[in-house]
Amino acid sequence: MNTEQQELYENARKRLRQKRLLYYHFVFFCIGNLFSFVANSFFEVGAPTKWWTWVLAAWVFLFVLHFVDVYITKRFLNKNWERQQIERLVKKQEQRIEQLKNKIDLDKQ
């Protein structure tokens, strides 16, 4: 396997791991919220307050953050994006250095 294929394989493996962890998070989210609902409503743990709604709200917030990270942030801001940004910045720096050299040459004359 050449270097490019190895890199593609590693990126695919990392992406698959991210998605798998998100699915695990969803399963734990469902089970954990069901457990907190049952504990609060049927076993009256922490009664009379409905604390399970706060657990649900906090966990939904965390799950949405995890979802955005996996399906939006990491999907678009990946290695290719990083390489393009680095190349753009390096090219910009090289142009600036060239401008400064030209300015120095003009000042010497």
Separation between Cα atoms, residue 96 and residue 92, nearest integer Å: 6
Q: What are phi and psi of 24, to 5 degrees?
A: -60, -45
pLDDT of residue 87: 94
pLDDT tens track of the chain, all 109 residues?
A: 798 899 889 989 999 999 999 999 999 999 999 999 999 999 999 989 999 999 999 999 999 999 999 999 988 888 888 889 999 999 999 999 999 999 999 988 7
- The letter for the amino acid at 17 is R
pLDDT of residue 64: 98
Q: Which long-range contacts (CB under 8 A, 24 or more apart) does 14-22 make?
A: 15/74, 18/70, 18/74, 19/70, 21/70, 22/66, 22/67, 22/70, 22/71
pLDDT of residue 83: 87
pLDDT of residue 78: 82
Whole-structure pTM value: 0.75
Separation between Cα atoms, residue 33 and residue 41, nearest integer Å: 12
pLDDT digits (tens, 9 = 90+) for 12-31: 999 999 999 999 999 999 99
**Domain limits of the chain?**
1-76, 78-109
